[in-house]
């Protein structure tokens, strides 16, 4: 063996210093990102893989021994358990009801904050306040605002002779209430991201447009929007993912229950997932619901990307 | 999703912390030899897993027990732990995993049926001669501490019992009696309750007679099941028994009260329910012992004297209360059983009652607190009413599926009251939701 090695025309062996240098350039980056990926593998990939396994089994607190059932769990959720598809409709409905006005208002607020105004920093800070408020506190306050007998909103409508509305009992009413909670929390956050993007737009563009006689409205549509399009795509994408996983707001609106109203009027898919896990102790079914939700999120995020990307043509 | 992850994270942290604790305890206690069984100068560590302190921290149970038992090191864990969000899931995983569940586990009533369904998880305390404690407890409280196949898994701590909170000001306005003896006599049975409801509705007082449908229906269900064949929602084999007399009659009574217009839409623990207690939104509410403090807090000083407390229709009822259980994975089941028995002794139940309020479940404990009254509720003899309600509570068999089917039925009844379902639809909804609950329960 040694002779065979020796017979090869030996390439000049690099010194350890050189090899260290090579490792420094090629190896160290992997080394530096490794902690994240190791943690991700342990707490992200492994659980994901394990839920695939769990979703194919009948496994619950009542029957701890896992029995392989193939796609039965998925089939039950999609075709037999009405609450599941109902929850997907609810999630999509609340997503549209919450996100569309939220992003439009965020855009307008960002545009306003981008103008010259007194105490600009204060205003910018204030739009962020809702995010640093505890979501549970927000839930408690909003549940009171939208109360049937003692709620402020019914009290206000009562001034105009409107009878007390049970917002939780109707589908649209409850969606409206939950959406208001989501909007209140996330509008400022999105506005601030849009504002940051707007500030990167070169001033010359506006000056040139003004010289050419473009009105502020035209400047907004012809310069601002196209310039910040990548950021609009980003926040639409993030809002889609967040909206599809909507959980705490509707749960708090129903006093911490997972049922989302007496007939699942505002039960989101995340709530179904947690209900299956916590109330029914059904690990298999809950895992299957998680994967179905994942597919829904992919579809919605993809669709909203395509829609936003087509606005204003391709850049 | 986010919430879930956070809890998982915390549970993992707790497990890690518990593991570290166990390790350090081992290394500190032993002098090199691994098996400490029967070695008298070896300190035995007993971990009690609790949700909150259950009053044991407040009465310094740890110090008292260690003083009497020098070879035992008691560790009380769980201050600040939420039962449903953190405690129950963590205990479920620890029991399934076969380690990490501690030596004594506190368990709330709502999860008992589910816990007792898995006999393997629990030690049999009758092996250590604790069957003799049966006579200390009301029969149902004692029986619920047994597994599906009859092991004695633990001892009861407190009971909720049940009476009826009512608003004297609203009763007076409606022309109903306000004295608690007269009120209790007027609704001695369920017909009397319906008559009182009708009087209240006819009086046009601007309030609901009853807070919500669920607690009353649940209370009635237990009473009727106790008088009849004992069937509630699900039998021991996991089959639905929704056509049982208890379910049929209790739900029909609710439908009747709803059509009368007597039931409010104030689901327990909702924001509206809290506000209504101060604003006089409803006139009656079924109240376990621990609820009195809740009402006092919600209604506040302004309503002092407005709320009173009387025996409920049919008297018997219970909502809440806990047990201390010994898991089979404990290394020292005998010592754990002794600790659990000591913690649930009548004397300690009374100390806990005096310190933080949970009502004693043992007869001897109740005897000692019998003359306790509640000032906020017009000096109502609370202890007497509560102990009366638990003494007559029937011993019923709870299936592991009982809690989820109960949740489905109660949700449907709330839907009846908020107008989502009509009285004609309600049985179809109850049946289909209950079937879903059974199927999902595995």
DSSP string spanning A97-148?
HHHHHHHHHHHHHHHHHTS--TTHHHHHHHTTHHHHS-HHHHHHHHHHHT-S
- A275: exposed, middle or buried (C-beta count within 10 Å: 0-12, 13-18, 19+)? buried
The predicted structure's pLDDT at residue B33: 38
The CATH number of the structural domain formed by A72-310 is: 1.10.3720.10
Residues in B closer than 8 angstroms to A144, CB to CB, are 271, 275
Smallest Cβ distance to A279: which of B4, B407, B420?
Answer: B407
A86 to chain B, any CB pair closer than 8 A? The answer is no
**Contact across the interface for A168 and B418, Cβ inside 8 Å:** yes
Residues in B closer than 8 angstroms to A140, CB to CB, are 271
Q: Which residues of chain B have pLDDT under 70?
A: 1-41
The distance from CA B366 to its chain's CA centroid, rounded to whole angstroms, is 17
The predicted structure's pLDDT at residue A9: 56
Burial pattern A236-254, b for ≥16 Cβ within 10 A else e, equals bbebbebbbbbbbbbbbbb
Place of tokens 């996991």: B238
Residues in A closer than 8 angstroms to B1, CB to CB, are 245, 247, 270, 273
Between helix A229-244 and helix A171-198 the angle, nearest 10°, is 150
Residues in B closer than 8 angstroms to A263, CB to CB, are 415, 420-421
* Strand, helix or coil for residue A57: strand
The predicted structure's pLDDT at residue A12: 65
B414 to chain A: closest CA residue: A262
Chain B closest CA to A275's CA: distance in Å?
Answer: 10
Chain B closest CA to A262's CA: distance in Å?
Answer: 5
**Contact across the interface for B92 and A149, Cβ inside 8 Å:** no
The predicted structure's pLDDT at residue A313: 53
* Strand, helix or coil for residue B240: strand
Residues in A closer than 8 angstroms to B400, CB to CB, are 62
**Contact across the interface for A263 and B420, Cβ inside 8 Å:** yes
Let me know: does B194 contact B257? Beta carbons within 8 Å.
Answer: yes
Which of B120, B128, B154, B204 lies closest to B49, judged by CA? B154
Q: Report CA dihedral (A164, A170, A173, A176) to the nearest 10 degrees.
A: 150
Chain A closest CA to B66's CA: distance in Å?
Answer: 36
Smallest Cβ distance to A262: which of B4, B281, B411?
Answer: B411
Smallest Cβ distance to B442: which of A62, A151, A270?
Answer: A62
B402 to chain A: closest CA residue: A280
Enumerate domains of chain B plus CATH numbers. Answer: 2-10+45-159+320-369 (3.40.190.10), 163-317+377-440 (3.40.190.10)
The predicted structure's pLDDT at residue B72: 95
Place of tokens 């310039």: A227
A166 to chain B, any CB pair closer than 8 A? The answer is yes
The predicted structure's pLDDT at residue A308: 83
Residues in A closer than 8 angstroms to B96, CB to CB, are 61, 64
Smallest Cβ distance to A280: which of B92, B270, B437?
Answer: B437
The distance from CA B383 to its chain's CA centroid, rounded to whole angstroms, is 17
Chain B closest CA to A104's CA: distance in Å?
Answer: 26
B407 to chain A: closest CA residue: A279
Angle B156-B159-B163 from CA coordinates, rounded to 5°: 160
Let me know: does A110 contact A195? Beta carbons within 8 Å.
Answer: yes
Alpha helices in chain A (DSSP H): 2-7, 16-26, 28-40, 46-55, 72-75, 82-113, 120-126, 129-132, 135-145, 152-159, 171-198, 203-211, 216-219, 225-227, 229-244, 248-253, 269-274, 283-310
**φ, ψ (nearest 5 deg) of residue B375:** -65, -45
**φ, ψ (nearest 5 deg) of residue B315:** 65, -55
Alpha helices in B333-422 (DSSP H): 333-343, 346-356, 363-369, 382-391, 402-417
Let me know: does B326 contact B130? Beta carbons within 8 Å.
Answer: no
Smallest Cβ distance to B270: which of A169, A245, A255?
Answer: A255
The predicted structure's pLDDT at residue B9: 41
The predicted structure's pLDDT at residue A131: 87
Chain B closest CA to A110's CA: distance in Å?
Answer: 28
Smallest Cβ distance to A262: which of B266, B272, B418?
Answer: B418
**Contact across the interface for B118 and A263, Cβ inside 8 Å:** no
Helices (H) and strands (E) in chain B, counts: 18, 10
> Which of B112, B270, B421 to mutate: most A Cβ within 10 Å?
B270
d(CA B73, CA B66): 6
Angle B412-B110-B187 from CA coordinates, rounded to 5°: 65
d(CA A261, CA A169): 7
> Between chain A and chain B, how many beta carbons pairs sit less than 8 Å apart?
101
User: What would you measure as the largest C-alpha separation in chain A, in angstroms?
Assistant: 102
Residues in Cβ contact with B198 at an 8 Å cutoff, skipping those fewer than 6 apart: B260, B262
d(CA A87, CA A97): 15
Between helix A82-113 and helix A229-244 the angle, nearest 10°, is 150
Stated pTM of the model? 0.84
Residues in B closer than 8 angstroms to A131, CB to CB, are none
**Contact across the interface for A143 and B271, Cβ inside 8 Å:** yes
**Contact across the interface for B272 and A147, Cβ inside 8 Å:** yes
Instruction: Give the DSSP H/E element, type plus range, for residue B48.
Output: strand B44-49
Chain B closest CA to A57's CA: distance in Å?
Answer: 11
Q: Please state the domain extents for chain A.
A: 72-310
Smallest Cβ distance to A255: which of B92, B269, B407?
Answer: B269
Q: Which two tokens stand for residue B414?
A: 């709330």
A242 to chain B, any CB pair closer than 8 A? The answer is no
* Strand, helix or coil for residue B199: helix
**Contact across the interface for B412 and A245, Cβ inside 8 Å:** no
The predicted structure's pLDDT at residue A7: 57
B281 to chain A: closest CA residue: A149
Residues in A closer than 8 angstroms to B2, CB to CB, are 245, 247-248
Let me know: does B266 contact B272? Beta carbons within 8 Å.
Answer: yes
> Which of B110, B418, B433 to mutate: most A Cβ within 10 Å?
B418
Chain B closest CA to A142's CA: distance in Å?
Answer: 10
Let me know: does B151 contact B120? Beta carbons within 8 Å.
Answer: no
A58 to chain B, any CB pair closer than 8 A? The answer is yes
A243 to chain B, any CB pair closer than 8 A? The answer is no
B271 to chain A: closest CA residue: A144
A263 to chain B, any CB pair closer than 8 A? The answer is yes
pLDDT, tens digit (0-9, with 9 covering 90-100), for B180-194: 999 999 999 999 999
Could you tell me the mean pLDDT of each successive run of 10 residues in chain A, 315 residues long? 52 78 88 93 94 95 88 95 95 94 94 87 89 88 92 94 93 96 93 94 93 92 91 90 93 91 94 93 95 94 86 55
Instruction: Give the DSSP H/E element, type plus range, for residue A67.
Output: strand A67-68
* Strand, helix or coil for residue B246: helix
Which of A69, A282, A77 lies closest to B400, judged by CA? A282
**Contact across the interface for B272 and A148, Cβ inside 8 Å:** yes
Angle B283-A162-B208 from CA coordinates, rounded to 5°: 10
**φ, ψ (nearest 5 deg) of residue B166:** -145, 155
The predicted structure's pLDDT at residue B30: 37
Let me know: does B322 contact B157? Beta carbons within 8 Å.
Answer: yes
The predicted structure's pLDDT at residue A10: 56
The predicted structure's pLDDT at residue A62: 81
B409 to chain A: closest CA residue: A262
Which of A170, A221, A202 lies closest to B419, judged by CA? A170
Instruction: Give the DSSP H/E element, type plus range, for residue B431.
Output: helix B426-440
Smallest Cβ distance to A149: which of B281, B412, B420?
Answer: B281
Average pLDDT score over chain B: 89
């Amino acid at each position: 063996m040694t002779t065979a090695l020796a017979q090869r025309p030996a390439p000049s062996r690099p010194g350890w210093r050189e090899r260290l240098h090579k490792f420094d350039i090629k190896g160290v980056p992997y080394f530096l990102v490794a902690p994240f990926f190791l943690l991700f593998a342990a707490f992200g990939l492994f659980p994901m893989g394990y839920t695939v396994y769990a979703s194919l089994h009948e496994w619950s607190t009542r029957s701890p021994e896992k029995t392989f059932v193939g796609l039965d769990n998925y089939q039950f959720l999609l075709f037999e358990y009405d609450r599941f598809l109902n929850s997907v409709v609810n999630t999509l409905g609340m997503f549209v009801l919450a996100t569309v006005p939220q992003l439009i208002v965020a855009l307008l607020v960002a545009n306003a904050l981008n103008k010259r105004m007194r105490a600009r920093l204060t205003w910018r800070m204030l739009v962020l306040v809702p995010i640093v408020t505890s979501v549970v506190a927000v839930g408690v306050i909003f549940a009171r605002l939208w109360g049937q007998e003692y709620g402020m909103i019914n009290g206000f409508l009562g001034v105009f002779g409107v009878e007390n509305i049970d917002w939780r009992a109707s589908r649209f009413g409850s969606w409206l209430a939950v959406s208001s909670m989501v909007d209140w929390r996330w509008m400022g956050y999105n506005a601030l991201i849009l504002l940051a993007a707007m500030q990167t737009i070169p001033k010359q563009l506006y000056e040139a447009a003004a010289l050419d006689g473009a009105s502020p409205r035209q400047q907004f549509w012809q310069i601002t929007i196209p310039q910040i399009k990548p950021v609009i795509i980003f926040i639409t994408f993030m809002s889609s993912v967040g909206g599809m996983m909507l959980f705490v707001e509707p749960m708090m609106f129903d006093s911490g229950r997972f049922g989302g109203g007496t007939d699942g009027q505002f039960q989101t898919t995340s709530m179904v997932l947690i209900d299956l896990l916590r109330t029914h102790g059904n690990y298999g079914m809950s895992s299957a619901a998680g994967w179905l939700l994942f597919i829904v999120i992919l579809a919605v995020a993809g669709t909203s990307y395509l829609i936003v990307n087509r606005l204003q043509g391709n850049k | 999703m986010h919430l879930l992850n956070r809890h998982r994270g915390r549970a993992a942290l707790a497990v890690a912390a518990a593991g570290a604790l166990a390790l350090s305890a081992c290394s500190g206690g032993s002098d090199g030899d691994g098996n400490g069984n029967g070695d008298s100068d070896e300190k035995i560590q007993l971990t009690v897993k609790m949700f909150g302190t259950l009053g044991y921290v407040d009465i310094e149970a740890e110090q008292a027990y260690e003083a009497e038992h020098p070879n035992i090191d008691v560790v009380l864990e769980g201050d600040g732990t939420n039962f449903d969000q953190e405690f129950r899931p963590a205990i479920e995983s620890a029991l399934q995993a076969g380690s990490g569940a501690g030596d004594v586990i506190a368990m709330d009533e709502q999860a008992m049926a589910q816990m007792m369904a898995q006999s393997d998880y629990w030690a049999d305390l009758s092996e250590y001669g604790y069957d003799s404690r049966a006579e200390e407890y009301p029969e149902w409280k004692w029986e619920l501490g047994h597994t599906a196949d009859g092991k004695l898994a633990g001892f009861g701590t407190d009971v909720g019992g049940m009476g009826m909170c009512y608003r004297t000001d609203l009763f007076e306005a409606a022309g109903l009696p306000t004295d608690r003896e007269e009120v209790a006599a007027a609704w001695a049975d369920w017909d009397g309750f319906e008559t009182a409801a009708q009087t209240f509705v006819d009086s046009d007082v601007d309030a609901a007679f009853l807070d919500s449908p669920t607690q009353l229906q649940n209370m009635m269900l237990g009473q009727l099941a106790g008088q009849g064949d004992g069937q509630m929602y699900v039998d021991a084999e996991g089959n639905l028994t929704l056509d049982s007399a208890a379910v049929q009659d209790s739900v029909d009574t609710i439908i009747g009260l709803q059509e009368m217009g007597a039931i409010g839409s104030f689901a327990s623990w909702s924001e509206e329910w809290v506000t209504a207690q101060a604003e006089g939104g409803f006139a009656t509410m079924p109240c376990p012992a621990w609820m009195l403090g809740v009402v006092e807090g919600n209604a506040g000083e302004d309503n002092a004297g407005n709320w009173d407390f009387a025996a409920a229709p049919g008297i018997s009822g219970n909502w809440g209360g806990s047990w201390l259980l010994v898991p089979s994975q404990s290394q020292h089941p005998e010592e754990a059983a002794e600790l659990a028995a000591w913690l649930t002794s009548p004397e300690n139940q009374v100390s806990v009652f005096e310190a933080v309020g949970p009502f004693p479940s043992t007869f001897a404990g109740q005897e000692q607190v019998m003359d306790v009254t509640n000032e906020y509720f017009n000096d109502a003899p609370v202890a007497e009413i509560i102990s009366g309600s638990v003494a007559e509570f029937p011993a019923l068999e709870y299936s592991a599926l009982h809690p989820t089917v109960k949740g489905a039925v109660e949700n449907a009844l709330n839907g009846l009251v908020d107008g989502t379902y009509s009285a004609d639809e309600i049985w179809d909804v109850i049946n289909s939701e209950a079937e879903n609950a059974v199927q999902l329960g595995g």
